[in-house]
Structure 1
């Protein structure tokens, strides 16, 4: 059986960049929270919420690096990578609550404007922008050789630059015109960016926790392709596909013509799954009898046409 495709690990230099980026993001997120409370700026608080999305992405990437290096054991046969999904779910839920609070506060402030200190707001917003630029530079240096978690974190930080620009714009307008409603208006725009990231993260983490099929895997197409490309395969059923970290796993039953080389056919099916669907961890049960389960009958008619060249006999009759 081919080796399982485990989570690709960042090099040590990339791990250090992840940690440094995480610390910088958390520190300036706290600075923006304090600055937003002292200056009265909701835009700064919204940008801090956006920086929390960056911190969440970086934390998940760090957890993936750490837990992917811990060996599976008898109690956790797949290791601890599921903790990264759980962390993503908790972060997404927290972000959604933060967005709701900011939107509620923005509506309240729009109808009852509150004083905002433009100068401290501008200073902190510029510092936040510089922190985001530095964090993106740290991650961008290792993007080419790093794994998907690092790339995702870099994209989060790149998106957060818009939040910092929004806070700076609000501060300049307040200093120039004294029009404080711009602060809640821009906070709503930044919150929409946070909402988009948080909702996507929430859906993806829930889908993975529920053992959902990865989006890139089309089970019906996979069933047909196996039957079309491996002549001995007559039917694929009882298919279950799920994901742990970046590793896709599959279990399936294959009704086949009794082969001369059982292990050879098994290796061909596994090799096909690895090459065409990037599934390296496959558990396959070969069967020689007709399958009578409901999900078998759904595909037998279509798949029988793909095997017309094999004759109209059943697998056992063909074997005899």
Structure 2
């Protein structure tokens, strides 16, 4: 007798989130690019390291937002026979690249800031203050635009973090400019750069770690696979379980597969539908992660010996 196999899958469209994120990203990119050009010019005229550091963040943000925009477009492309999940993981790769760039820029700025603390240079505070205020206003608008979609994917989360880092940078520039203007303490510029770096780099590193967990097919962090195994084994007629795997294809798309061994007579008596329903209920109702793509292969106990021959 050929070992029976049954599977149950849910197919849902995840294109809405990726599609709706593109206009937000385009608006944020236009704002960031405009301010970037203005900040570079002003930083060169005023000699402000904090403003130049913020321009550096703006540069990586512009590049990051371009990557995010491209990744969102790729992720929205439909699945094909050669790419059965589509290109949804492009948004995770984009997020990893953005986080990596932000971490590198933060390290470079930190080194330059330490040098500026030791050998401070004169700063023209008034131009620095004006540009900081303009940058903050542009970043605030971009943050409002991106805020509604930041939970949609790692890609949007990375884009939001990029712009948030710029907003913090603009606040640092303003505070440093005020300090220099009121007290003449030029090292305030370098101190502001170090504070900005200290706030941003840990968040970028955390985002990079989250993206790498997806790319390495780790089990979703809030899913206890041991608990999943225990619940499945408690389902009536289930005798054993093997090849249990859980991973994340892209943001919001956890996947679970398993080979479930059931009593031989249960398959011949036609109760596979009941077992599959119970397994789907088990995954859907008892775990914090909503797993919409779960596939179960039902196998009779007598098949275990045969499977060992082919593995």
Same fold (TM over 0.5): yes
Question: Which residue in the other structure is 2:240 paired with?
Answer: 235
Judged with a 3 Å threshold, the aligned counterparts in structure 2 of structure 1 residues 33 and 81 are, in CA distance, closer, same or farther, namely farther
Query: Hey, what's the Cα distance between the residues in 2 that align with 1:100 and 1:151?
Result: 21
Structure 2: any 5+ residue segments left out of the alignment? 1-7, 306-311
Q: Deviations over 1:7-41 (max 9, x none)?
A: 35249766423321222123323433443344222
Judged with a 3 Å threshold, the aligned counterparts in structure 2 of structure 1 residues 241 and 13 are, in CA distance, closer, same or farther, namely closer
Aligned counterparts, 1:34-73, within 5 A: 34-51=41-58, 58=65, 62-63=69-70, 65-73=72-80
TM-score normalised according to structure 2 size = 0.80
Question: Which residue in the other structure is 1:28 paired with?
Answer: 35
What is the deviation of 1:57? 6.8
> Residue 218 in 1 paired to residue 220 in 2?
no
Question: Which residue in the other structure is 2:172 paired with?
Answer: 166
What is the deviation of 1:166? 1.4
- What is the CA RMSD across the aligned residues, in angstroms? 2.9
Of residues 7-16 and 77-86 in structure 1, the stretch that sits farther from structure 2 once superposed is 7-16
TM-score normalised according to structure 1 size = 0.78
Query: Hey, what's the Cα distance between the residues in 2 that align with 1:196 and 1:241?
Result: 28
Query: Hey, what's the Cα distance between the residues in 1 that align with 2:146 and 2:245?
Result: 36
What is the deviation of 1:127? 0.5
1:126 to 127, 130, 133: 133
Aligned counterparts, 1:94-105, within 5 A: 94-105=101-112
Equivalences, count: 289
Partner SS state of residue 192, structure 1: helix
Q: Deviations over 1:62-95 (max 9, x none)?
A: 4454233311122222111122222222222222
Question: Which residue in the other structure is 1:91 paired with?
Answer: 98
Partner SS state of residue 83, structure 2: coil
> Residue 201 in 1 paired to residue 201 in 2?
no
